[in-house]
Amino acid sequence: MLMSIDTIENGFQLEFRRKVVEPGIKDPIKFLQRWLYLSSQVPRLHGAALARIRIPDIQFLLTEIAYGECGFGDNTKIHCKLLAELMRKSPYATAITQAVSPELEQFLEDTVSELCQMSQDEAIGFIVGLEAPAYEILGLLKQGLVTAGIDEADVLASEYIVIHDAVEKEHQESGHAAMEMILSYGFDLYKIYQGGNTAVRFLIEMVGENMLEKQLSYC
C-alpha cells in the first residue's frame, strides 16, 4: 500500500480511536492519574526526539512544542502544573495525584531509551504519532474530569483546557510540517511510519485499559 503523510496521520488516529476511544475509559481515576504522570514527562519525549534531529528547522519545531509544554518560560504555566491544579478540584484528587505503578514508570523509561536510539526519520515519526490523537485524548480528558466530580463549567474554563483547545491543532500542524521537511530531504516514509506507530502503541499502553496495572475501584 502506498503511504502518504495524510494516510499515516489518519492511520495513527484511527488506531488510537479503535483501541482507546471506542472501548471507552472504564476507570476515569486511573486514566487521569496516568495522564497527569504522562503530562509531566512529555517534555522528555520531545527532548529525546530532538536529540536525534540534525536539521535546524525541525529542531525549531520540536523545541517550540516542548517550550509550550513548559509554560513558554513561565514555570507557573507548565502544563502538568495547570493540570494538577485542575485535578485537585476532584473529590478523588488524592487517588488521582498518587504515584503510578513502577511498571508504568519503567515502561516510560524504556520508551525514552528506545526513542534516543531511533533514526532521525523514526524520531520525527514518533512525535507525529504522539500528537496525532491529541483531540481524542483531550475529549477523553474532559469526560474523565467531569466523571471524577469536577464541575463541567470549571473544566471547560480551566487554563489547561483553554490552552489545549487552542494549541493542539498547532502541535499537529508542526508535526505535519516536520514530516514534510523530512521528506524534502529524502528520508524514508516507512521509517517515519514505524516511529509513529511506536508512539501510538505507547499512548495506548499508557492511557488505555491495559494490563500494566490491575483495575482499581474508587467508588
Annotate 21-87 with DSSP letters as a single string.
Answer: ITT--S-HHHHHHHHHHHHHHHHHHHHHHHTT---HHHHHHHHHHHHHHTTTT-GGG-HHHHHHHHH
Tens digits of per-residue pLDDT, 140-175?
999 999 999 999 999 999 999 999 888 766 666 666
What's the pTM?
0.88
pLDDT of the residue at 218: 37
Number of domains the chain is built from: 1
- Cell representation of residue 173: 500542524
Q: Which residue range is the domain that position 15 belongs to?
A: 5-207
What's the mean pLDDT in 31-45? 96
pLDDT of the residue at 3: 65
In a domain, residue 217? The reply is no
In a domain, residue 128? The reply is yes
In a domain, residue 153? The reply is yes
Does the pLDDT at position 49 exceed 60? yes
Tens digits of per-residue pLDDT, 1-30?
446 777 888 899 999 999 999 999 999 999
In a domain, residue 85? The reply is yes
* 209 burial level (CB within 10 Å; 0-12, 13-18, 19+): middle
In a domain, residue 116? The reply is yes
Answer for the pair 82, 158: CB distance below 8 angstroms, yes or no. yes
In a domain, residue 86? The reply is yes
Residues 30-54 as b/e (b if ≥16 CB within 10 A, e otherwise) read bbbbbbbbbbbebbebbebbbebbe
In a domain, residue 218? The reply is no
Question: What CATH number corresponds to the domain at position 46?
Answer: 1.20.910.10
Q: How many Cβ atoms are within 10 Å of 173's Cβ, its own excluded?
A: 12
| Percent of the chain residues past pLDDT 90, beyond the cut | 64
| Residues 29, 46: Cα–Cα separation, whole Å | 26
In a domain, residue 171? The reply is yes
Q: 49: number of CA atoms within 13 Å, CB side?
A: 31
